[in-house]
């Protein structure tokens, strides 16, 4: 049986976003247990020139919602990037999962060959759906997911590989 674009996007990104939501719950509990202001984690970064945790999550969310939307032939929704707390990040993750779950497999038929144009402030990219998914969306999603995870782990949150992967 072939794996569809839908199979590679909707359930996989939903699963990983759910894992991150659980990681955030552990981070909140850890902050409380160690009497650390949660803003320390929210604003943390791995290096001075890297984006903080909140921005990692916003970009990861944008990759999931934008990737799914474009591959399904739709314009992605635009959401403000105004998260400032774990509650806000939980809400952003839930909204992203809800958006992903709004798609049906048939919306992704022919997505591999669909022409996708991505306009960024300083550059425009043109992809086939397959190239967009495999060379842009998936690597960006996992880069920002891994970075968010690493920021929390670097700050002493007791999480491990099973938290990252979740129940597979």
How do residues 67-105 score in pLDDT, each as one tens digit? Answer: 999 999 999 999 999 999 999 999 999 999 999 999 999
Share of the chain above pLDDT 90, in %: 96
Q: Which helix (H) or strand (E) holds 126?
A: strand 123-128
> Which domains occur in the chain, in start order?
5-165 (1.20.120.450)
Share of the chain above pLDDT 70, in %: 99
CB atoms within 10 A of CB 133: 23
pLDDT reported for residue 120? 87
- Residue 2: pLDDT band with limits 50, 70, 90: confident
Whole-model pTM above 0.85? yes
pLDDT reported for residue 167? 80
Which are the contacts of 79, defined by CB distance < 8 A and separation ≥ 6? 61, 65, 92, 95
* Beta partners for residue 116, in sequence order: 127
Above 90 in pLDDT, residue 117?
yes
Helix, strand and coil percent figures for the chain, each rounded to 5: 60, 5, 30
Structure tokens that stand for 22 in this block? 């659980």
pLDDT reported for residue 1? 67
- Average predicted confidence (pLDDT) for the chain: 96
pLDDT reported for residue 168? 63
């Amino acid at each position: 049986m072939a794996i569809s674009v839908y199979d590679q996007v909707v359930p996989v990104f939903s699963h990983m976003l759910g894992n991150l939501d659980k990681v955030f719950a552990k981070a909140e509990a850890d902050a409380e247990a160690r009497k650390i202001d949660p803003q320390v984690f929210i604003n943390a970064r791995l290096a001075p020139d890297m984006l903080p945790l909140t921005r990692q999550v916003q970009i990861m969310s944008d990759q999931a919602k934008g990737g799914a939307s474009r591959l399904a032939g739709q314009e992605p929704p635009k959401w403000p990037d105004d998260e400032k707390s774990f509650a806000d990040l939980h809400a952003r993750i839930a909204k992203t999962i809800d958006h992903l779950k709004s798609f049906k497999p048939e919306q992704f038929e022919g997505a591999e060959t669909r022409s996708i144009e991505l306009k960024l402030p300083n550059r425009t990219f043109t992809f086939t759906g397959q190239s967009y998914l495999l060379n842009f969306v998936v690597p960006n999603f996992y880069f920002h997911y891994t970075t968010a995870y690493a920021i929390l782990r670097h700050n002493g949150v007791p999480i491990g590989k099973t938290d990252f992967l979740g129940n597979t």
